[in-house]
Amino acid sequence: MRNARRLSELDCRWFLLALGLMAGVSRADTAGPGLLDYLRACGIGDDAFARFADDRQIAAEELDVIRRIAVRLRDCPELGRIANLPIVGKAGNLPHVGEKLPSAAEAKSQRGRMFQLQGSVVSVEPVEDPNSEPLWRCTLAMTESPRRVVVYVADLTEKLRTHGAGQHVALDGVFAKYVPGATAEPMAVVVAPRLEHRPDSPLGNLGMDFGLFEGIRDGAPMTAADHDAFYRLLRLTRKADSARFDHDAERLDESFAGLPALFRDPASQRGRLVKVSGMARRVVRVPIDDPAVVSRLGADHYFEIDVVAEGSQGNPLVFCTSDLPVDMPLGGPPSYGESVEVTGFFLKNWQYRTALSEGEKAANPGSFQALQAAPLVIGAAPLWKRAVAEKKNTTASAVAGLLVLVMIGVCLLLWHLRQTDQEFSRQVFARE
C-alpha cells in the first residue's frame, strides 16, 4: 500500500509539472490539462463516470469508482487549489471550481466537476472493506439546496472521526451523483481529498484547517509535520485585515491567561489569537527555497522576530510574519532594540538553537549554541512604535532645550544684576 501511494504521488507530481508547462501556452492554442485528464491518467476515465445513476443509492460499482477517486485526490490534494485550473468540460467549455452544486436535472452533465463547499457535520461512518484503503462517508448539513450532501473522503482527522458531529468543515469536492434522501429532496454525493476542520473561532473563520495541527509536537524543532500548518498560517495572516485581528484579540483578552499559559498547556492553546507588546531584540529575513510554497504564499521569504515582553523574564516570543513595516531595520543582539506590538496565532512551543553569550561560552567551553524554547506565533506585520518613540524624543529634546535657554537667561539676568549692583556701589563710594 505504501508503494502504491508513493507511485500515485509521483503521478501527481508529473501531472502538475505538465500543468505548469501548459500554463505557458495560450488558451487559444490549447485547453490545457484538467482534473479529468489527471483521473484518466490514473485509469478513471469517462466509462467510470458513466456508471453513476441518480435514481438509486450507491451501488457496488459506483462505490468502487468513488474509492478510486478519493484515493487519487488524497494523494494529489493540490489539484483543487491551483489558480484557474480548468476542471472538466468539452473542448471550448472549461468551467472553473464552482461554489454551488448543480441541480438534479443538471447532474449528468456536471459529473467530475469540482466544487468548493462548506457545511456542518451531521454524521461520520467508515465504509468497511478489509481489502481496500480506508474510506469514510460523511453527511453534511448545508445552508442552501441541497440541504444534505454526502462526502466520501480517504483522509479524515482523528478529531472529525471521533467528535465530528456539529463541527464546521470546508472542502473541494468532485461531484458524482444524486441519491434519494430521507425527505423529498435528493442528496448530492461528492468525493473530496479531505475535510478541512474550521471551528467557529477567529482562526477558523479566517479559513484555517485545524486538522493541520494534528501531529505537531511541542518542545521540539520545526518538523515536516509542522510544515503545512506553518505556511497556511503565514498565507492566511498575510491577507487578513489587521483591524479584525485587533478587535478579536481585545475580545479574547479576558479568557487569556498570558504567555505562561502557552508554556503550561500548549496543545489547548493551539490556534489561539494573542496580542503582545514588547521589545524586538532580533529581526531576520528567512528565505523560502520550496517553489510550491513560494507559489502558494506569494512571497519567497518571511521574517522572524524575537520579542521580549514585559514580565517575560527575558524569555522571547518568536513571531513570524510575511511583511515588516516600511523602513523597519533588520538586526540582532546586542545593540538591536525596537518597540513593537504583535498580534497573531499561536502554533507551538518551538525549540531552536541560539548563540551563547560570552559568559555562557566561558562556562561551557567548546559550546557556541544552546537550545532555546519559545512560543511560536504567526501573524500580520507588527505595529512598529518608532513614530511614538520619535515624538517622545522630539518633545523631550524641545523641553530640554527650553530649560537650557531659561537657565542661560537666568544666568545672564543674574550677571546683569550683579554688574548693576557693582556700578551702583562704585557711584555711592565716589560720592562719599
Q: Give pLDDT tens digits for 229-248.
A: 999 999 999 877 766 666 67
Give the span between the Cα atoms of 383 and 227, in whole angstroms: 26
pLDDT of 428 strictly over 50: no
Over range 58-83, report the average pLDDT.
81
pLDDT at residue number 137: 97
Could you tell me the three cell numbers for 291?
Answer: 517553489
Buried b (16+ CB within 10 A) or exposed e, 328-355: beeeeeeeeebbbebbbbbbbbbbeeee
pLDDT of 114 strictly over 50: yes
Q: Is the dihedral of CA 213, 214, 216, 218 positive or negative?
A: positive
pLDDT of 106 strictly over 60: yes
Residue written as grid cell 485587533: 246
Query: Which alpha helices (DSSP H) does 89-213 contain, by range?
Result: 107-110, 158-163, 202-206
% the chain with pLDDT above 90: 41
Residue 93 — pLDDT band, cuts 50, 70, 90?
very low
% the chain with pLDDT above 70: 68
Give the span between the Cα atoms of 80 and 115, in whole angstroms: 9
User: How many CB atoms neighbour CB 46 within 10 A?
Assistant: 11
Angle, vertex CA 332, rays to CA 330 and CA 336, nearest 5: 85
Over range 149-167, report the average pLDDT.
94
Q: What is the pLDDT of residues 186-202, one digit of tens each?
A: 999 999 999 999 999 88
pLDDT of 295 strictly over 50: yes
pLDDT at residue number 140: 96
pLDDT of 31 strictly over 60: no
The residue ranking higher by pLDDT, 29 or 368, is: 368
As a residue count, the chain comes to 432
Classify burial at 261, counting beta carbons within 10 Å of its beta carbon; exposed 0-12, middle 13-18, buried 19 or more: middle
